[in-house]
């Protein structure tokens, strides 16, 4: 009977633990085993090489990371980002293995092997995060280690006492003490909760890289955010065009696009949709920090800052200028749209008593405009990366900061905060230096993450209280010979199952 109860308890415990750890492993199962070539043949996905071209049929999971080379499609990326809305992909856009194709077939050029795919990187990094223990887990391990030593001493003393009093009962009473007070539940209290919480974070589209994330998320009292690509979409668009000569709007936009195609910055990309094959420029020169010039129809054309294009300084913000033979012909106004959830995101942190600072390298005028619209009072503008890092280091020692940025340009600043979040990991997810990576663009997922972190802390405390309380209660009863060995097995297994089941609550929606 002793062995039966022991095995049943272990079976139920392992079943619960596997359920807690299953979610991240299930991601890899989304990658199909078979891919379809352009000729219609089916081949194993593991044989695909970078540069191979395959066809993805409607309703299929994409077999490999790659870029779209034909078609305009809708992709379900909810398994990565947690967003249920399908994403539109066009030629040249990246798609990821395991995501679900919509109603149209398309051709794909493979860019990563299965081992280097987005999903493989996510699973690997989640495993690394789970092996990086937070302080509370380290403390629990230390307590469990000393607890074992104390129990062994008590067990030996129990046997010695009962051997002197009732020699026939000494062995089973000692055995009951050892079994009943096994620190299994204490050892499971923290790791099972963290495993479940990490799995839920994955459902939110958040990738964890450091073990301290859950602890720090509960403590933050100062949110520091970048502007471009964080509070705003980071996709510059032309909002208005003013013409000042005999060229119409379409013509000046096409000339600007012909010049800007030779540049690689966000404003230049805003003109990409206005290019026309018949409008070309030659002898292009990129004047760093000022603009671009070239020849169009034997005329000198320039686009860039006011001082470069028209020879005078102007106070207009978010504007670039175009001239033809030194004649100012157009002014283009651009904007970086604010994310629709940014205002609610900032407001909910404010409601939780967390102060917010907008820390950006953009001009004060642009930064203040965004801050006013979404409700941020403290603005630090025109800050270089070293200025941002200096600002964080200069904060009060009681400030626990969470920095949200793009993960690449803000790398030094992210490293200087207590908790760092990189927006939109994409293919650089394995290279990001942040503690957390938000795989999608929905800032509200960070609010859900903080709520989950607070729940996780509560669950861990409940687990520790239960496991310690149980052991302190059962120990004197076992020493007194009031607990039979099979009852001790039931108690030990039940305590472990209760702890694991309590942790599994984190996998449920709330």
Give me the percent of the chain exceeding a pLDDT of 90.
34
Provide the token pair at 24. 């991240």
What's the confidence (pLDDT) of residue 426? 42
- How confident is residue 494, by pLDDT bands cut at 50, 70 and 90? confident
Q: Pick the range with the lowest mean pLDDT from 47-56, 204-213, 428-437.
A: 428-437
pLDDT score of 191 more than 80 = yes
The whole-number average pLDDT for the span 451-475 is: 92
What's the confidence (pLDDT) of residue 24? 54
Q: Which residue has the higher pLDDT, 123 or 435?
A: 435
Number of Cβ within 10 Å of residue 297's Cβ equals: 10
Please return the burial class of 290, using the count of CB atoms within 10 Å of its CB with bins 0-12, 13-18 and 19+: middle
Please return the burial class of 39, using the count of CB atoms within 10 Å of its CB with bins 0-12, 13-18 and 19+: exposed
The whole-number average pLDDT for the span 15-29 is: 61
The distance from CA 51 to its chain's CA centroid, rounded to whole angstroms, is 28
Provide the token pair at 501. 């089941």
- pLDDT, tens digit, for every residue of 475-493? 999 999 999 888 888 888 8
- How confident is residue 63, by pLDDT bands cut at 50, 70 and 90? very high
β-bridge partners, 222: 355, 401
β-bridge partners, 208: 436
Q: What is the DSSP letter of 338?
A: B
pLDDT score of 14 more than 60 = yes
**What CATH architecture applies to the domain 237-335?**
3-Layer(aba) Sandwich (3.40)
pLDDT score of 12 more than 60 = no
What's the confidence (pLDDT) of residue 430? 42
- pLDDT, tens digit, for every residue of 239-253? 899 999 888 999 999
**What CATH architecture applies to the domain 32-112?**
Distorted Sandwich (2.70)
Contact indicator for 449, 217 with CB cutoff of 8 Å: yes
Dump strand ranges (E) for 139-290. Answer: 206-208, 222-225, 237-243, 282-287
What's the confidence (pLDDT) of residue 363? 76
Query: Rounded to 10 degrees, what is the CA torsion of 115, 118, 124, 127?
Result: -150
- How confident is residue 332, by pLDDT bands cut at 50, 70 and 90? very high
Beta-carbon contacts of 323 under 8 Å, excluding residues fewer than 6 positions away, are 301, 302, 303, 309, 310, 329
Long-range contacts of 249-256 (CB under 8 A, 24+ apart): 249/330, 250/274, 251/279, 252/322, 252/329, 252/330, 253/332, 254/279, 255/279, 255/281, 255/296, 255/301, 255/322, 255/324, 256/303, 256/320, 256/322, 256/330, 256/332
Q: Which residue has the higher pLDDT, 410 or 350?
A: 350
For 222, half-sphere exposure in the C-beta direction (CA atoms, 13 angstrom radius) is: 16
Q: How far apart are CA 260 and CA 255, in angstroms?
A: 9
- pLDDT, tens digit, for every residue of 353-392? 999 999 987 778 888 989 999 999 999 988 877 788 889 8
The whole-number average pLDDT for the span 74-97 is: 81
What's the confidence (pLDDT) of residue 480? 92
The whole-number average pLDDT for the span 151-161 is: 92
Contact indicator for 234, 336 with CB cutoff of 8 Å: yes
Residue 259 phi, psi (nearest 5):
-75, -45
Number of Cβ within 10 Å of residue 325's Cβ equals: 11
What distance, in Å, lies between the first and last C-alpha atoms of the chain? Answer: 40
pTM: 0.74
396 in catalytic set: no
pLDDT score of 132 more than 80 = no
- pLDDT, tens digit, for every residue of 86-116? 888 888 888 999 888 988 889 999 998 888 8
Q: How far apart are CA 256 and CA 292, in angstroms?
A: 10
The distance from CA 445 to its chain's CA centroid, rounded to whole angstroms, is 9
Beta-carbon contacts of 465 under 8 Å, excluding residues fewer than 6 positions away, are none
Q: How far apart are CA 158 and CA 224, in angstroms?
A: 58
Mean per-residue pLDDT of the chain: 84
pLDDT score of 422 more than 90 = no
* Catalytic choice (52, 65, 93, 226): 226
Number of Cβ within 10 Å of residue 71's Cβ equals: 16
Q: Pick the range with the lowest mean pLDDT from 18-32, 172-186, 456-470, 496-510.
A: 18-32
Phi-psi region at 93: left, alpha or beta (left = phi > 0; alpha = psi -120 to 50): beta
Q: How far apart are CA 56 and CA 58, in angstroms?
A: 7
- How confident is residue 190, by pLDDT bands cut at 50, 70 and 90? confident
Beta-carbon contacts of 290 under 8 Å, excluding residues fewer than 6 positions away, are 304, 305, 307, 308
- How confident is residue 410, by pLDDT bands cut at 50, 70 and 90? low
The whole-number average pLDDT for the span 281-310 is: 88
Beta-carbon contacts of 32 under 8 Å, excluding residues fewer than 6 positions away, are 45, 60, 61, 63
What's the confidence (pLDDT) of residue 427? 39
Domain boundaries, the chain: 32-112, 237-335
């Amino acid at each position: 009977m002793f062995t039966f109860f022991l095995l049943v308890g272990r079976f139920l415990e392992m079943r619960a633990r596997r359920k807690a750890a299953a979610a991240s492993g299930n991601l890899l199962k989304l990658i199909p085993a078979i891919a379809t070539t352009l000729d219609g043949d089916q081949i194993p996905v593991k044989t695909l090489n970078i540069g191979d071209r395959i066809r993805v049929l409607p309703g299929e999971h994409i077999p490999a990371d790659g870029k779209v080379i034909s078609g305009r499609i809708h992709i379900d990326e909810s398994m990565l980002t947690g967003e249920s809305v399908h994403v539109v992909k066009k030629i040249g856009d990246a798609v990821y293995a395991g995501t679900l194709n919509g109603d149209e077939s398309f051709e794909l050029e493979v860019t990563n092997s299965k081992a280097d795919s987005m999903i493989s990187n996510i699973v690997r990094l989640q495993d690394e995060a789970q092996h990086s223990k937070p302080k509370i887990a380290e403390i629990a391990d230390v307590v469990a280690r000393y607890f074992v030593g104390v129990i062994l001493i008590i067990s030996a003393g129990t046997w010695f006492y009962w051997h002197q009093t009732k020699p026939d009962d000494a062995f089973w009473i000692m055995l009951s003490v050892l079994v009943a007070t096994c620190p299994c539940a204490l050892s499971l209290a923290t790791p099972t909760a963290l495993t479940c919480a990490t799995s839920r974070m994955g459902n939110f589209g958040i990738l964890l890289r450091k073990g301290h994330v859950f602890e720090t998320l509960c403590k933050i009292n100062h949110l520091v955010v970048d502007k471009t690509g964080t509070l705003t979409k980071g996709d510059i668009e032309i909002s208005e065009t003013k013409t000042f000569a005999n060229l119409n709007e379409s013509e000046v936009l096409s000339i600007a696009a012909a010049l800007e195609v030779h540049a690689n910055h966000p404003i230049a990309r805003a003109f990409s949709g206005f290019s026309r094959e018949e409008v070309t420029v030659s002898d292009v020169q990129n004047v760093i920090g000022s603009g671009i010039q070239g020849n169009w129809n034997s005329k000198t054309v320039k686009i860039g800052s006011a001082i470069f294009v028209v020879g005078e300084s102007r106070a207009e913000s978010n504007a670039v200028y175009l001239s033809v033979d030194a004649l100012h012909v157009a002014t283009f106004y651009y904007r970086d749209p604010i994310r629709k959830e940014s205002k609610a995101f900032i407001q909910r942190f404010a409601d939780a008593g967390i102060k917010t600072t907008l820390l950006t390298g953009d001009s004060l005028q642009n930064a203040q405009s965004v801050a006013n619209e979404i409700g941020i009072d403290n603005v630090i503008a025109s800050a270089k990366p070293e200025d941002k890092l200096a600002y964080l280091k200069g904060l009060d020692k009681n400030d626990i900061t969470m920095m949200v940025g793009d993960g690449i340009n803000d790398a030094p600043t992210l490293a200087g905060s207590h908790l760092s979040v990189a927006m939109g990991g994409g293919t650089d997810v394995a290279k990001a230096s942040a503690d957390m990576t938000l795989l999608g663009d929905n800032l509200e997922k960070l609010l859900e993450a903080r709520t989950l972190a607070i729940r996780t802390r509560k669950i861990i405390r409940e687990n520790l209280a239960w496991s310690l309380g149980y052991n302190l209660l059962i120990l004197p009863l076992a020493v007194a010979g009031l607990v039979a060995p099979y009852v001790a097995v039931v108690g030990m297994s039940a305590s472990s199952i209760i702890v694991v089941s309590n942790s599994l609550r984190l996998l449920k929606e709330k």
